A and B are shown apart, each in its own frame.
Chain A
């Protein structure tokens, strides 16, 4: 009898032309939370697909051993029958079905094809309580925010009493309080003997919850540490395979005149009719400044940026001044004309056009500025795109590569390049490094610093606390529809506790 609940031995997975996993070994003890970290493309998701049965036995080399006996999964169902449950990053919710039905989909209580609704709602209530979700099990899922949905999909997996729970970046959509809840749930599962694989980019979380951390790089197992005995810097170095000098290259320089002033900004709530998510706020931005906007998910930060940019106009009230003169921004077109760029949060949702090439994606926001009135001069277009690709160090076979084929980090760089081609004076940036790897993150911070040196001003919404604190010259905190704090870096006010306190409305 082995004391490992799960062993993956010498797992190798080949795709045409690439080896995604090469001799990967993984061991998981009973009641242990094993963190798995690595850059994008390190092979984390592929490894999890092997484990979850998405790639059936025979599609890969190596073996999976559960409780000492080798198993061969024929598919996802088979893996689930063996007690392996996955919580994916993408929340697969039936938006118009009720919370309870979503929680128990596939295992609805009842007999002979009838659903026992009484039991269903009672069970759902218990689960919701455990997740500290104040929701009616009968309500539909559609109006919920992404954090609530993420917790629901976790509870859906938990309800099946798995032996091994696999979490893929579970906290990206969560607020800090929800992260706390998640950690509590995981902790209680651990004491019950449930083992867990925890994939995350966020080292803080690995330190908080995991017992050991496994580092993957380029499809290979690099190292496995007891988390208590390893330095953060070591983990980062192992993940990127090179020394990351300074994650946040922030250089001090003075600021110029005020370039942007927003007054009386009110934005309707996206899900709740008749309520404003942001009520009469205002702020200003100076030349070369990075203004961070902190707050919990759902505080209306993204909506505020969208409203300023003209993405949302229905029911929005705002006064916007550029260089002290009031301007009327009724559509993204107007915003672009005034030198504003907007890098949106959900790059897959509304940032990229995935079947088009890098070249087409980049020039799409710059059509009026490309030379020529009607026809596109391809030679000149290629030149400007090539310039951005080199500057941003976008890794792709050519500029004709479709965006689907790029990694998340490179996709994000393409979006950045698209807006930089316009030579904006003001950049609105929403969660710029969400879900991208450490190496690309460092690139991003370097680029942002360089831009401010050239006089570009940046408004950055970020839920990544270290990023928010170290990149911003000034931090505004949004909570309850108002700005609850304005913290200045040069006065030493930008601390984690100050932001948190303002965000939870202390």
Chain B
């Protein structure tokens, strides 16, 4: 009788563990940490951990709002293009227009907002497929940057204090981008879980017709999320501009799919409706750990994408198992 009770208890513990969306990413992350830590204990040095968080912070600044977008049933390949645009526009503000730090940042965010609004109009109002539209936008924006910059970085920003954003450390310990990423992540978490807007976002992705019939302004909600993602992507570009002290036309190039993959690894459904910010954070950290850990283990960086790809595939299996364990349907 007693053993039976124990068994029941164990099962419920397992089901509590597997009920969390983040399990699919946490499990590979922990395993990876153990393996890398065993091979090279330098991995756990404070400065190395800060380095990992620093590189995660750039992806997470985009991944956090992107999580909301994907929960609302959307997707966005144009994030990397918005990052590059934000990076270059911010550099123009400082180097060419000499308008000062904050106006330059605002100008970059506005450029992101324009891309976001254009994307929202095409995807939401004209109801065109997001995959193709954002792919097209990526090409248009990237080409615009190349035409205007000739592919040459915008340098000579001439503003020393601007460097603080991407290079400076808070209290001399952690980089400001890490602090910003945490603030953005917590805000997005609260926005998603505690506000009426967040509830509307989840409803839009869960079942658009139901959301509409429930009196939710689906179009407005989706517009806000679409624009938000592009603005944060542009902000990520601003951070890169500060970090490189120049406007790089290729900033963030090729990261759109890895950022989306990080969100998916974190347990956000491609179909919309469910997902967590914490999961996306862990997804971004996982990506950074792979990149960092392989270097420390003296494995060729050529292996990075294979391992990331494998974990992406495996995490979906864990997710499937998890849903079966916790008794949920699909």
| A interface residues (Cβ-Cβ under 8 A, vs B) | 16-17, 309, 311, 331-333, 335-337, 342, 344, 349-356, 360, 363-365, 367-368, 370, 372, 374-376, 378, 402, 404-405, 418
Contacts and interface: CB of A to CB of B under 8 A. Distances in A.
Contacts of A16: 327
A409 to B, nearest CB: 17
Contacts, number: 93
A309 B213 contact: yes
Contact of B195 (A311, A331, A355, A376): A376
B273 A332 contact: no
B211 interface: yes
Nearest to B193: A376
Contacts of A331: 212, 215
A497 to B, nearest CB: 35
Nearest to B198: A376
Contact of A405 (B195, B202, B217, B328): B328
B330 interface: yes
B207 interface: yes
Interface of B: 194-197, 199-200, 202-203, 206-207, 209-217, 269, 273-274, 327-330
Nearest to B203: A364
Contacts of B194: 375-376, 378
The 5 closest A-B pairs by CB, nearest first: A353-B206, A404-B329, A365-B214, A350-B209, A336-B215
A498 to B, nearest CB: 33
Contacts of A372: 196
B196 A374 contact: yes
29 contacts: A17-B327, A332-B212, A332-B214, A332-B215, A333-B216, A353-B202, A353-B211, A353-B273, A355-B206, A355-B273, A355-B328, A356-B202, A356-B206, A360-B199, A360-B203, A364-B203, A364-B211, A364-B214, A364-B216, A365-B213, A367-B199, A367-B200, A374-B195, A374-B197, A375-B196, A376-B196, A402-B328, A402-B329, A404-B330
A364 B212 contact: no
Given A353-B203, A374-B196, 18 more contacts: A16-B327, A311-B213, A332-B214, A350-B207, A350-B210, A351-B210, A353-B206, A353-B207, A356-B203, A356-B206, A356-B273, A364-B210, A365-B214, A365-B215, A368-B196, A372-B196, A376-B199, A405-B329
A360 B209 contact: no
B200 A355 contact: no
Which of A344, A355, A360, A404 counts the most B-chain CB atoms under 10 A from its CB?
Answer: A355
Contacts of A364: 199-200, 203, 210-211, 214, 216
A16 B326 CA distance: 11
A342 B210 CA distance: 11
B209 A367 contact: no
A355 B212 contact: no
A443 to B, nearest CB: 22
Nearest to A346: B209
A418 B202 contact: no
A332 B202 contact: no
B270 to A, nearest CB: 12
B109 to A, nearest CB: 22
A367 B329 contact: no
A375 B196 CA distance: 6
A342 B212 CA distance: 12
Contacts of A374: 195-197
Nearest to A344: B213
Contacts of A333: 215-217
A144 to B, nearest CB: 21
Given A333-B215, A360-B202, A353 B196 contact: no
Nearest to B197: A374
Nearest to B196: A367
A335 to B, nearest CB: 8
Contacts of B212: 311, 331-332
Nearest to A335: B215
Which of A350, A402, A418 counts the most B-chain CB atoms under 10 A from its CB?
Answer: A350
A364 to B, nearest CB: 5
Contact of B210 (A309, A335, A353, A367): A353
A426 to B, nearest CB: 14
Contacts of B195: 374-376
Contacts of B269: 355
A349 B207 CA distance: 8
A90 to B, nearest CB: 15
Given A355-B269, A355-B274, A356-B203, A370 B196 contact: yes
A468 to B, nearest CB: 23
B139 to A, nearest CB: 30
A355 B267 CA distance: 13
B196 A350 contact: no
Contacts of B215: 331-333, 335-337, 365, 367-368
Nearest to B330: A404
Contact of B328 (A350, A353, A363, A404): A404
B115 to A, nearest CB: 27
Nearest to A404: B329
A276 B217 CA distance: 28
B274 to A, nearest CB: 5
Contacts of B213: 309, 311, 332, 342, 344, 350, 365
A104 B328 CA distance: 35
Given A376-B194, A404-B328, A405-B329, A354 B214 contact: no
A332 B273 CA distance: 21
A101 B216 CA distance: 40
A356 B330 CA distance: 12
Contacts of B329: 354, 402, 404-405
Which of A17, A336, A367 counts the most B-chain CB atoms under 10 A from its CB?
Answer: A367
Contacts of A344: 213
Which of B202, B206, B207, B213 counts the most A-chain CB atoms under 10 A from its CB?
Answer: B213
Contact of B214 (A17, A355, A418): A418
A337 B217 CA distance: 13
Contacts of B217: 333
Contacts of A17: 327
A105 B216 CA distance: 41
Contacts of A360: 199, 202-203
Contact of B199 (A311, A363, A402): A363
A240 B215 CA distance: 37
Contacts of A404: 328-330
A354 B202 contact: no
A356 B269 CA distance: 12
Contacts of A351: 210
A328 to B, nearest CB: 15
A335 B212 CA distance: 11
B208 to A, nearest CB: 9
Contacts of B203: 353, 356, 360, 364
Nearest to A17: B327
A368 B199 CA distance: 11
A367 B329 CA distance: 26
B196 A352 contact: no
A17 B210 CA distance: 32
A352 B327 contact: no
